[in-house]
Chain A
Amino acid sequence: MENQFSPEQKGSEVIVVTSGKGGVGKTTTSANVGTGLAKLGKKVCLIDTDIGLRNLDVVMGLENRIVYNLVDVVEGNCRVKQALIRDKRHQGLYLMPSAQTRDKTAVTPGQMIKVIDHLREQFDYIILDCPAGIEQGFQNAIAGADRALVVTTPEVSAIRDADRIIGLLEANGFKQMDLIINRLRMDMVRRGDMMSAQDVVDILAIPLIGIIPDDENVVIATNQGEPLVGGDSPAGQAYANVVNRVQGKEVPYLNFDKGISFWTKVTGIFHRA
């Protein structure tokens, strides 16, 4: 059962989700990409590396099941396996939560690499949710990663920070960095009041791997603690495409331009009072 879904297995892949700026959707992206991969039958471990400000557990709806956390593992208070929370809704999906009452200095990059190396044996994908900023938390998160997903929104501040992050990742020897543009609003792009995905790609000059439309369903999904990847919402479809592209498949980009009417229809159907 373990390996039957990954015939092309080249060992596990460790992906860090990062952005520099806070609030652009790192945690949402981590949750959705991780859940999406698990839905495709992969064994996935999500690691929240934001020590002191953990959030991934809440977005995943697993906050009530935390016993041990990343710092406990590093400090030897428990075994790695004990800190992993199994997501009962999706086969093969696990979360290692972060510590809420400690700070970033509780873990070193070397310790992170050790934990990740241990997990590599058991998982197809390890997704690291990176904290905002470029300090030690960032260094910890990227230390053991093979590749990066850089999340940004089409705003000057977020793009500036993303550019900085890309520079730092390059300096740390990252070869594969892919861009996710989050919260794009086609109506604003059409009016000339928001940078288009192409504009952002031109500026940041790394390969694009996903465009996520601004979608209220993301808020609803977060409220419910269930990632929306693979659902009918525009963001759910967009994340499903990201998941496929992460695995190296070529997927055409959704045409958000087709019109607001389609969107409102979709959101209308799934609108929950």
Chain B
Amino acid sequence: MRHFFRRKSSCQIAKDRLKILLISDRVNCSPEMMELIKNDIAKVISKYMKIDADNMEIQINTKGTKAGRSGKPSLYANIPIVDVVSADLNLNK
């Protein structure tokens, strides 16, 4: 049955959850702090352009898969831009 609907396997769910969990564990960064960072980034960016803050994502990744735990982590932000033009308007204000 489940085959037809192609639901995400529980194994995949576990891997996805662990990926997020371990990143924050390893850099010792709580989800609350990530939320604060996200809000601050949104605030700064929206000074210059109109962004979709509700759909933005930030993530800390350890770069490179082979490097494993020795690779330095980096912060990725995915910020959907709604309107670039409005940036000028805001600046002129």
Q: Which residues of A line the B interface, CB within 8 A?
A: 155-156, 159-160, 163-164, 166-167, 170, 189, 191-196, 199, 202-203, 205
Contacts and interface: CB of A to CB of B under 8 A. Distances in A.
List the 9 closest A-B pairs by CB distance, nearest first: A205-B68, A192-B9, A193-B10, A192-B11, A156-B14, A163-B22, A205-B69, A195-B11, A195-B14
Nearest to A166: B69
Nearest to B9: A192
Contacts of A170: 69
Interface residues of B, number: 16
A194 B76 CA distance: 29
Contacts of A166: 69
B25 A195 contact: no
A157 to B, nearest CB: 10
B22 A160 contact: yes
B12 A192 contact: yes
A270 B17 CA distance: 39
Interface in B1-52: 9-12, 14-15, 17-19, 21-22, 25-26
A103 to B, nearest CB: 28
Contacts of A203: 15, 18-19, 22
Summarize B's interface: helix, strand, loop or mixed.
Answer: helix
Summarize A's interface: helix, strand, loop or mixed.
Answer: helix
Contact of A167 (B11, B17, B26): B26
Nearest to B71: A205
Contacts of B21: 156, 160
A205 B25 CA distance: 15
Contact of B18 (A159, A164, A196): A159
Contacts of B17: 156
Interface of B: 9-12, 14-15, 17-19, 21-22, 25-26, 65, 68-69
Contacts of B14: 155-156, 195
A156 B14 CA distance: 6
Contacts of B68: 205
Nearest to A205: B68
Contacts of A196: 11
A195 B17 CA distance: 12
Contacts of B25: 160, 163-164, 167
Contacts of A156: 14, 17-18, 21
Given A160-B18, A164-B25, A192-B9, 17 more contacts: A156-B17, A159-B22, A160-B21, A160-B22, A160-B25, A163-B25, A163-B26, A166-B69, A192-B10, A192-B11, A193-B11, A194-B11, A195-B14, A196-B11, A203-B15, A203-B18, A203-B19
A166 B68 CA distance: 12
Nearest to A192: B9
Contacts of A199: 11, 15
A164 B25 CA distance: 8
Nearest to A156: B14
